[in-house]
Each structure stands twice: as structure tokens, then as C-alpha cells.
Amino acid sequence: MGEPDPDLLVDFEGVTVRRGGATLLGPLDWRVELDERWVVLGPNGAGKTTMLRVAAAELHPSAGTAHLLGERLGRTDVFELRPRIGTSSAALGHRVPDAELVSDLVVSAGYAVLGRWREDYDEVDTSRATEMLASLGAGHLAGRSFGTLSEGERKRVLIARALMTDPELLLLDEPAAGLDLGGREDLVERLSMLAWDADAPASVLVTHHVEEVPPGYTHALLLREGRAVTQGLLEDVLTAEALSATFGTRIVLDRVGERYFAHRP
Ligand SMILES: Nc1ncnc2c1ncn2[C@@H]1O[C@H](COP(=O)(O)OP(=O)(O)OP(=O)(O)O)[C@@H](O)[C@H]1O
């Protein structure tokens, strides 16, 4: 076997996850390359979070092979792999103590712990944390405690935290869930700016809603019952037919500029 392709960040071949006799995911073939921004769409229970957990090196496939950043899951030290992958999810947010200072939460990401446990962070860490918060429009929140933030503010802070370690891959699980309309639009705009940024990592964003697809995202994977209904370039894949098949109901898809809106006929 030759050297792994450095541009191939995720390489799933026949990835399958089984629990107690049920197949939650797969078999799934999926590849993410450098500079790609993927959205993963599918109904409740389709296996999206399961798939993201494999991509985060948190879960090993029951069958098939998963390579992440050139390393094969099961044959590599996941503790070395995980800091290279930025993740943001509601589950992570729930584990943050209310009293945690936003700036500490972000700066501590480099040490892969929740909460500030080391008194002396390098100045470079602190200024990077400030920069990451500012890039998500959350610079003014640095001095607040996490428990006082709105849902939308929390999401932006957690994404800033995920970017802190300069990850090669960014995984976002339903980043806009629970946000009001203004909060959602604000987040979609921020994620879109990140998507257009050539220095930003490859990203995978899981959602139920096409309205949450940020402009600048390049690829889509539509999941149903653990299997890919279709995947590829966003423009080719995101169609009314594919969405109808994925969600099991007739869907009409409207496109306004680079935004998508779905509804029943
Ligand atoms: N440990 C487990 N044992 C058995 N079934 C599980 C387990 N974990 C998840 N499941 C089931 O696997 C399926 C896929 O779950 P997953 O969370 O990946 O879906 P999802 O697409 O992220 O759903 P949602 O949109 O509702 O978050 C669901 O039917 C879920 O009930």
C-alpha cells in the first residue's frame, strides 16, 4: 500500500455500526476531501449522529474501515487523532458548567478538557481564543459565564472552541437546533463566512433542515435508515426528489439565491 492521500480526510468503506442486532448505520462509503464542506441531511433516527461519532473517532465501526486524517480507526491512538478534529454538539454544551468563563472554555480546548485546569496559558493561546470568538461574532461574550448565554450565543462559542486547536476537520451536529429565526440566520451567515474562508478546515454539518445549509457548502449526503440515499455535489444532490425519498414525504424545494427552503406541495 502507498502513502495515504493527504487530501483525503475521511474515507469510509462499508462502514457499518450495529447495536443489539439493529443496524444504525451503513454500510456506508463516504469520502471527504480537503476544502470540502459537507451537509448531512436526514430524518430523526437516520444515523446522522452515529456517522458523525465515527468521523470524530468516538465510535468504531462494527464492520468496514474508517480512515480519518490518514489514520485507520482501530489501528491508531484516538487520543492523538481527536485533537485534530474539532467538534461541536448540544451534548458537549450540556457538559459545560454554568459558571465556566467563555474565554476559559475556548482557550482550554487546546488542552482537550472542559474547564480551565491550568493557570498559565500562553499568550498566543489567549489571543487565538479572542480571535476565534471574534470570527464567530462572539468576541463581546469572552468575559461572560457560559450559563448566562442564550442558545445562539452558546452555539457560536462552542464553534469558536472547536476551531481553537486549528483542526483539520470540523464536525457540527445540528448547530442551529433550538435557535429562533434571528439566531438561526445569524449562525447560518457565520457558518457561510467560515465556509468561504480558504483557511478554514473541511467541515461536516448535520441537520434536518435545508434552510440551515450555509451558502458556500459544497457537498451533501442524504441519509435514511442508516444508508445513503444520494451523495455528491450539493447542487446535484439537493433536489425535491432526493429530499422526498429521504424524508419519506413529498417535498417541494425552493431555492432563493444560495439558500434552500423545503415544504409540502
Ligand atoms: N446505543 C444504541 N442502541 C440501540 N439503538 C441506538 C443506540 N444509539 C442510537 N440508536 C438508534 O440508532 C438510530 C440512529 O441514531 P442517530 O442518533 O445516529 O440518528 P440521527 O439521524 O442523528 O437522529 P436525530 O436526527 O433524531 O438526532 C436511532 O434509531 C436510534 O434510536
**In which band, very low, low, confident or very high, does the pLDDT at 90 lie, cut at 50, 70 and 90?**
confident
Q: Which has the higher per-residue pLDDT, 125 or 36? A: 36
Confidence grade of residue 86 (pLDDT, cut at 50, 70, 90): very high
Tell which residue, 176, 164, 221, 182, has the closest CA to residue 31.
221
Mean pLDDT of 98-124: 73
Q: Residue with the nearest Cα to atom 26 of ligand 1?
A: 44
**Residue 42 pLDDT greater than 80, yes or no:** yes
Query: What's the chain's average pLDDT?
Result: 91
Q: Exposed (0-12), middle (13-18) or buried (19+): which is 197, by Cβ within 10 Å? A: exposed
**Mean pLDDT of the 139-147 span:** 95
**Using the 8-state DSSP alphabet, how is residue 136 labeled?**
T
As to burial, measured by CB atoms within 10 angstroms (0-12 exposed, 13-18 middle, 19+ buried), residue 143 is exposed
Total structural domains within the chain: 1
Residue 112 — very low, low, confident or very high, per pLDDT cuts 50/70/90?
A: low
What is the per-residue pLDDT across 121-131, written as a single tens digit (0 to 9) for each? Answer: 677 778 889 99
- Looking at the domain assignment, is residue 1 inside a domain? no
ipTM: 0.94
118 lines ligand 1 (CB under 6 A): no
Smallest CA separation from ligand 1 atom 17, residue: 49
pTM over the 0.90 mark: yes
Q: What is the pLDDT of residue 92?
A: 84
- 1-10, 183-192, 202-211: the lowest-pLDDT one: 1-10
What is the CA(45)–ligand 1 centre distance, in A? 5
Is the CB of residue 105 less than 8 Å from the CB of residue 146? yes
User: Which among 206, 117, 106, 192 is positioned nearest to 153, based on CA atoms?
Assistant: 106
Query: Which residues make Cβ contacts (< 8 Å) with residue 144, sequence separation at least 6?
Result: 101, 102
Give the mean pLDDT of 109-116.
Answer: 58
Residue 92 in any domain: the answer is yes
* Residue 45 clears pLDDT 80, i.e. is over it: yes
The domain in which residue 188 lies consists of: 8-263
pLDDT score for 128: 87
- Establish whether residue 53 lines the binding site of ligand 1, counting it when its CB lies within 6 angstroms of any ligand atom: no
CATH number at residue 192: 3.40.50.300
3: in domain: no
Kindly state the helix (H) or strand (E) to which residue 94 belongs, with its residue range: helix 90-94
Residue 5 to residue 7: CA distance in whole angstroms: 5
Tell me how far the alpha carbon of residue 144 lies from the centroid of ligand 1, in angstroms. 34
